[in-house]
């Protein structure tokens, strides 16, 4: 068996494995452990004659019985991973992209071949002149046979050269399987034929999936439920000396940058995104028993999916936090620095109790791009910010509308979100019926209540008479003095297709691409006023070249070096939002002077924005010094621990160049158990830990 973490020879091609190196592959397959009770099952198939020479073919077990027993053989744990380890690192991706049904076929062939070979060893008899059958004078005791595991270990202990030159049996043998004896050489030929057939099937699949410029690699088909137009992500790399563009092109990650190499590299404009689609898709795939594709993992989305318990800041203000600690499961000289921009809560004002009527799409369209998870996350956070006297009417719609919650509190909404009651149920999305149901709910509620209506759709279409009927229903809502807004969930921005309905019926429409943007819309409806705290907000990290030898930005990789990149360097910040980014640092040894070591000075984190109403420029600067550097991961702030575990999990799933190849994602659980209660009790963090546990079992 190949030792864990030991690299195989690098292949210079990206083609599928060459099945021609039979001896080498045989050496690898001989080390595959067999199930613990396989020998007992094989003996049970053969019956009481297993230990004797089979003189009469009719005593051999039937083919049907062998087939039924072999189908129940348990596949050894980690068998799929060991199959992948046979391939070479350069072509590892191609092995991973073989369809699941092809892996199942490979496993079936290997298990059947191994079981058949073992049964053949037990049923071997020396070949010689025919002997007349004689009745057995007395029952003979079965000849003791070595256990299967002992045979495997014996084979594994021999060198390749010994196996090639030293025969295990000194005499020719015949093997009785079923009704027709076969030679051992014939059995080997049949096994080779099975392997050849498997190779041809895989090659046929590979050729069928060839595309121009794909270099013969197998590209996994996207889930139909998640099929959506891809969006450019990442930031444009700097075009200065000292930034390794070839490294980013080769590995798809930002390289380590020396701030002393160029003046422009001392400042890193930090992108701020709030999207969580990559994390939500990964969690859904792992929960369904499949590992996410590496291309779909984005570290920034894993960071954005966490709800950080930050120090309180004054309501309506903007704050910046930063902390660093030694990087777990990484090189000893690395530090992970996380910077978080925090928007405070809305200033409290006297407002009446609010009845919010929320109408959400629960059709099959909500499964695309993990939209349903974004809605669940937004509504769970909304429930936390509802006052005790606020009430919610929640209507879900697919083929028809149905009331999910009536006269509910914020706690009721959080319980429903935690129980999975907001998951899509399938079917189409009848938006017209949902609008009419909302109009009935508004008209049926007490006129003294202050009401707001929010529609959340995945793009349900309205045309012709349906659009006219929707306009009439929205006009009924507007006639009661109830403001309404319609939100379309879409991974790309742009104008809403419902603008004409909003103009005719005194409503508003918007397009949201993240759960935080949807939450901001819901909070505006709940509070009855805008929640924006800052516009044109940007974050820049200044690194001190005297003490920072190198840094790299985690995530935010552009698909190509020349293509467009959409991760924003300026955003609008709403109340309660916490955009974040993370860097890996290599620090220089502290400079010694006659008065002692020079105090740590990593640099500064600078946030600038404009006031949303006055437009006046605002600025916050945080010095990155000893107060921000924790001596260990266990002593880091709870929110930094949470972010570090999220980033490390994403890099492990992504197969990052900077993630150690000998470490498994399951080792993160040791560090995950060290987090402080403020992070450990967070629902988002518990979900992250479940994702790590499930992904570790799938690997």
Of 146-155, 443-452, 473-482, 609-618, give the lowest mean pLDDT range.
Answer: 146-155
H-helix or E-strand spanning residue 79: helix 79-86
| Residues 268, 116: Cα–Cα separation, whole Å | 62
| Residues 344, 311: Cα–Cα separation, whole Å | 10
Per-residue DSSP letters for 153-182? HHHHHS-HHHHHHS-S-SS-EEEEETTEEE
Of 21-25, 80-84, 109-113, 537-541, give the lowest mean pLDDT range.
Answer: 109-113
Predicted confidence (pLDDT) at residue 373 exceeds the cutoff of 80? yes
Which band of pLDDT confidence, cut at 50, 70 and 90, is reported for residue 609? very high
Token pair recorded at residue 87: 């391939």
| Residues 158, 413: Cα–Cα separation, whole Å | 64
- Under 8 Å between Cβ of 299 and 654: yes
The closest alpha carbon to 420, from 369, 380, 381, 451, belongs to 380
CA 56 to each of CA 11, 137, 141, 506, 584: distance values in angstroms, whole numbers, following the listed order? 51, 16, 18, 91, 72
Q: Is 597 helix (H, G, I), strand (E, B) or coil?
A: strand
Mean local confidence (pLDDT), 557-585: 83
State the pLDDT at residue 323: 96
* Residues 255-346+533-698, CATH architecture: Sandwich (2.60)
pLDDT, tens only, 257-293? 999 999 999 999 999 888 898 999 999 899 889 999 8
State the pLDDT at residue 372: 87
Indicate the DSSP class of residue 265.
Answer: G
The closest alpha carbon to 477, from 512, 520, 434, 517, belongs to 434
Look at the block and give the residue holding tokens 């907001």: 422
Give 354-528's CATH code, choosing from 1.25.40.10, 3.40.50.410, 1.10.1200.10, 1.10.4160.10. 3.40.50.410
- Under 8 Å between Cβ of 234 and 565: yes
- Under 8 Å between Cβ of 73 and 38: yes
Which band of pLDDT confidence, cut at 50, 70 and 90, is reported for residue 390? very high
Predicted confidence (pLDDT) at residue 127 exceeds the cutoff of 70? no
Supply the angle between the helices 79-86 and 100-122 in degrees, to the nearest 10. 100
pTM passes above 0.85 = no
Mean local confidence (pLDDT), 580-599: 88
Mean local confidence (pLDDT), 220-226: 44
End-to-end CA distance of the chain: 17
Looking from the CA of 237 toward its CB, the CA atoms found within 13 Å total 27
State the pLDDT at residue 412: 93
pLDDT, tens only, 321-338? 999 999 888 777 899 999
Indicate the DSSP class of residue 403.
Answer: E
The closest alpha carbon to 543, from 658, 662, 624, belongs to 624
Cα–chain center distance at 119: 42
Q: Is 649 helix (H, G, I), strand (E, B) or coil?
A: helix
The closest alpha carbon to 152, from 51, 67, 40, 28, belongs to 28
Task: Delimit the domains of the chain by residue range.
Answer: 22-208, 255-346+533-698, 354-528
Which band of pLDDT confidence, cut at 50, 70 and 90, is reported for residue 151? very low
The closest alpha carbon to 174, from 138, 124, 132, belongs to 124
| Residues 55, 291: Cα–Cα separation, whole Å | 51
pLDDT, tens only, 408-419? 999 999 999 888
- Under 8 Å between Cβ of 302 and 646: yes
The closest alpha carbon to 109, from 11, 217, 25, belongs to 25
Q: Is 240 helix (H, G, I), strand (E, B) or coil?
A: coil
- Under 8 Å between Cβ of 396 and 405: no
Token pair recorded at residue 549: 């030898």
How does 611-645 read in b/e, with b if 16+ C-beta sit within 10 Å? ebeeeeebeeebebeeebbbeebeebbbbbbbbbb
H-helix or E-strand spanning residue 392: strand 391-397
| Residues 5, 85: Cα–Cα separation, whole Å | 10
Average pLDDT over the chain reads 76
| Residues 606, 557: Cα–Cα separation, whole Å | 22
| Residues 167, 188: Cα–Cα separation, whole Å | 14
- Under 8 Å between Cβ of 298 and 617: no
Within 123-244, residue ranges assigned H as helices are 148-157, 160-165, 184-208
- Under 8 Å between Cβ of 549 and 587: yes
The closest alpha carbon to 618, from 316, 165, 195, 297, belongs to 316
| Residues 590, 604: Cα–Cα separation, whole Å | 18
State the pLDDT at residue 167: 37
State the pLDDT at residue 22: 56
Which band of pLDDT confidence, cut at 50, 70 and 90, is reported for residue 299? very high
Output phi, psi for 299, to 5 deg.
Answer: -60, -40
Of 138-147, 263-272, 394-403, 635-644, give the lowest mean pLDDT range.
Answer: 138-147
- Under 8 Å between Cβ of 555 and 606: no
Output phi, psi for 98, to 5 deg.
Answer: -65, 135
Of 97-111, 471-485, 626-640, give the lowest mean pLDDT range.
Answer: 97-111
Per-residue DSSP letters for 337-358? EEEEEEEPPPPP-----EEEEE
Per-residue DSSP letters for 511-566? EE-SHHHHHHHHHHHHHTS--EEEEEEEEEEEE-TTTEEEEEE-S---SSSSS---
Which band of pLDDT confidence, cut at 50, 70 and 90, is reported for residue 36? low
CB atoms within 10 A of CB 42: 25
Token pair recorded at residue 303: 């960071």
pLDDT, tens only, 155-181? 334 433 433 343 333 333 333 333 444
Look at the block and give the residue holding tokens 């004002």: 349
CB atoms within 10 A of CB 431: 25
H-helix or E-strand spanning residue 482: none
| Residues 459, 499: Cα–Cα separation, whole Å | 13
* DSSP strand pairing (532-543 vs 571-574): antiparallel
CA 134 to each of CA 22, 93, 142: distance values in angstroms, whole numbers, following the listed order? 44, 60, 18
Measure the CA dihedral 238/241/242/245, to 10°.
60
- Under 8 Å between Cβ of 239 and 227: no
Region of 62 on the Ramachandran plot (φ > 0 left; ψ -120 to 50 alpha; else beta): beta
């Amino acid at each position: 068996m190949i030792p864990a973490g030991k690299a195989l020879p690098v292949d210079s091609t990206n083609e599928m494995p060459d099945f021609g190196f039979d001896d080498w592959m045989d050496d690898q397959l001989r080390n595959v452990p067999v199930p613990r009770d396989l020998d007992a099952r094989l003996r049970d198939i053969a019956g009481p004659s297993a230990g004797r020479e089979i003189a009469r073919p009719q005593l051999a077990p039937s083919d049907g019985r062998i087939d039924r027993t072999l189908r129940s053989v348990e596949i050894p744990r980690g068998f799929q991973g060991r199959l992948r380890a046979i391939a070479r690192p350069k072509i590892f991706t191609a092995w991973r992209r073989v369809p699941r049904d092809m892996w199942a076929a490979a496993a079936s062939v290997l298990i059947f071949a191994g079981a058949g070979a073992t049964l053949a060893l037990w049923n071997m008899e020396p070949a010689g002149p025919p002997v007349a059958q004689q009745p057995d004078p007395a029952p003979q005791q079965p000849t003791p046979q070595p256990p299967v595991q002992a045979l495997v270990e014996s084979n594994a202990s021999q060198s390749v050269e010994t196996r090639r030159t030293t025969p295990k049996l000194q005499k020719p043998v015949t093997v009785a399987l079923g009704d027709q004896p076969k030679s051992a050489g014939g059995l080997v030929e049949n096994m080779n034929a099975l392997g050849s057939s498997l190779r041809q099937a895989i090659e046929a699949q590979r050729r069928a999936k060839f595309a121009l410029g794909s270099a013969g690699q197998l590209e996994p088909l996207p889930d139909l439920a998640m099929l959506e137009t891809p969006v450019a992500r990442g930031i444009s790399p700097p075009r200065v000396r000292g930034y390794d563009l070839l490294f980013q092109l080769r590995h798809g990650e930002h390289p380590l940058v020396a701030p002393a190499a160029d003046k422009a590299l001392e400042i890193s404009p930090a992108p701020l995104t709030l999207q969580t689609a990559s994390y939500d898709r990964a969690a859904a795939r792992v929960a369904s028993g499949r590992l996410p594709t590496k291309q779909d993992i984005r570290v920034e989305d894993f960071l954005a999916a966490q709800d950080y318990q930050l120090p309180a800041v004054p309501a309506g203000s903007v704050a910046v936090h930063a902390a660093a600690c030694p990087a777990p499961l990484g090189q000893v000289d690395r530090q992970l620095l996380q910077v978080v921009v925090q928007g405070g809560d809305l200033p409290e004002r006297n407002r009446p109790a609010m009845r919010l009527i929320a109408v959400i799409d629960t059709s099959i369209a909500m499964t695309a791009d993990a939209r349903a998870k974004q809605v669940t996350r937004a509504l769970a956070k909304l429930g936390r910010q509802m006052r005790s006297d606020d009430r919610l009417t929640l209507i879900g719609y697919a083929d028809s509308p149905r009331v999910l919650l009536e006269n509910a509190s914020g706690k009721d909404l959080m319980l429903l979100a935690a129980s999975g009651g907001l998951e899509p149920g399938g079917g189409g999305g009848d938006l017209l019926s949902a609008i009419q149901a909302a109009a009935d709910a508004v008209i049926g509620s007490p006129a003294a209540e202050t009401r707001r209506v929010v529609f959340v759709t995945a793009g349900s279409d309205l045309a012709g008479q349906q659009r006219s009927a929707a306009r009439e229903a929205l006009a009924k809502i507007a006639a009661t003095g109830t403001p309404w807004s319609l939100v379309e969930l879409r991974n790309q921005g742009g104008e809403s297709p419902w603008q004409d309905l909003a103009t005719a019926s005194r409503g508003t429409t918007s397009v949201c691409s993240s759960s935080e943007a949807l939450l901001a819309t819901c909070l505006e409806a709940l509070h009855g006023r805008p929640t924006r705290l800052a516009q044109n907000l940007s974050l820049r990290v200044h690194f001190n070249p005297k003490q920072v030898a190198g840094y790299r930005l985690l995530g935010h990789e552009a698909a190509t070096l020349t293509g467009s990149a959409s991760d924003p360097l300026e955003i609008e910040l709403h109340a309660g939002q916490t955009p974040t980014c993370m860097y890996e640092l290599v620090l220089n040894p502290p400079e010694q002077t006659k008065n002692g070591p020079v105090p740590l000075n990593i640099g500064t984190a600078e946030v600038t924005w404009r006031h949303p109403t006055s437009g006046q420029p605002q600025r916050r600067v945080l010095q990155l010094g000893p107060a921000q550097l924790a001596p260990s991961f266990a002593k880091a702030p709870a929110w930094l621990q949470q972010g570090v575990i999220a980033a490390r999990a994403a890099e492990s799933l992504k197969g990052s160049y900077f993630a150690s190849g000998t470490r498994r994602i399951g080792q993160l659980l040791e560090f995950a158990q060290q987090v402080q209660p403020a992070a450990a009790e967070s629902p988002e963090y518990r979900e992250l830990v479940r994702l790590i546990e499930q992904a570790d079992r799938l690997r």
